[in-house]
Amino acid sequence: MLWTIIVTLVGGVIIGSLGKFLAPGNRDNIPFWLTVVCGIIGMLVGNTLYYAIFKDSPTDKWDNMTKGIDWWRHLWQVVVAVLAVMAASFVTGRNKRA
C-alpha cells in the first residue's frame, strides 16, 4: 500500500511536470500541488483510455500490456496531463500572466 502511494506521487510529479512543460502558451501558471494532481489524473485517465482502446485480449493487464516499458501508454498519460493542466489553469483563473 505504501509503495502504491509513493509510485502514484512520484508518477504524478513526473507526468504533471511534463504536462505543465508541454502545455501551450502561458496556460501553465498553476501551483505545484495542482501540477501533481493533474499528473495523477493524467496517469489514471490516460491508462484507462489506453487500455480501453488498445486491449488485445481479455487477459491483458491494464497497467502493462507489453513486455518492457509501454511508451505509448505514457504518451497517453502525458497528453491527458496537458489537458488537465490547461483545464486547471482555466478553472483557477491563472491562464493570464499579471
4-57 pLDDT per residue, tens: 888 889 999 999 999 999 988 776 678 999 999 999 999 999 988 888 887 766
DSSP state of 94: -
Residue 57: its pLDDT value, please?
62
Residue 17: its pLDDT value, please?
92
Residue 94: its pLDDT value, please?
62
Please give the Cα distance from 19 to 6 (Å, whole number): 20
Residue 26: its pLDDT value, please?
73
C-alpha cell at 10: 512520484
Residue 39: its pLDDT value, please?
94
Q: b/e per residue, 11-45, with b = 16+ CB within 10 A?
A: bbebbbbbbbeebeeebbbbeeebbbbbbbbbbeb
